Amino acid sequence: MLNITELIVNLGKKLGFDAETEVPASLSAWVDVVWYDNRFRFPKPSASETLLRVPKLPVVGFEIESSSALNAKHVKGSVSNLNNLGPSMGVIILGKANLDALRKKTGIHRNKSDKELWDWLIEKVKLWIYAEAKPNIRIVVMREDELVEWAKREGVY
């Protein structure tokens, strides 16, 4: 079974992108996975180079919030990393472990269904992204299961 990072990399390659992990978007920002326009074939930048010195065109950047999406600081950090990358689109993937963390964190969510928890969490994350972090790029919020369904449709999973 693939982990989220491997799934995103394999999906990107299947869709015709060059895909890399832990990409240095700046001296202090790394993006979990980046899909590049494959017409610009240059090596992955080193941490000291970043993308400022390598002519690569990031099309989609992915930040994975496996279990930390309940923390506004983590989500806003992901937005900042994606802004530094400068892709056409950013995607923040919310892992299913966030639901378990939400149930443990507060008693008010303990008996809610997964759907109710996802709805609550996605609204919270969208608020942190668009009302507080104010991204310079388009950012899509996806659940881990939505990513898996996408990969299945493309024959990757």
Q: What is the pLDDT of residues 83-131, one digit of tens each?
A: 999 999 999 999 999 998 888 876 767 788 999 999 999 999 999 999 9
Q: What is the pLDDT of residue 45?
A: 82
**How many Å apart are CA 77 and CA 126, to the nearest integer?**
14
Please give the tally of structural domains in the chain: 1
Q: What is the pLDDT of residue 131?
A: 93
Which residues form the domain of 104? 4-153
- The pLDDT of residue 1 is above 80: no
pLDDT digits (tens, 9 = 90+) for 2-55: 799 999 999 999 999 999 999 999 888 999 999 999 998 888 887 778 888 888
For strand 89-94 and strand 58-65, is the pairing parallel, antiparallel, or unpaired? Answer: parallel
Residue 105 burial (10 A CB sphere; 0-12, 13-18, 19+): exposed
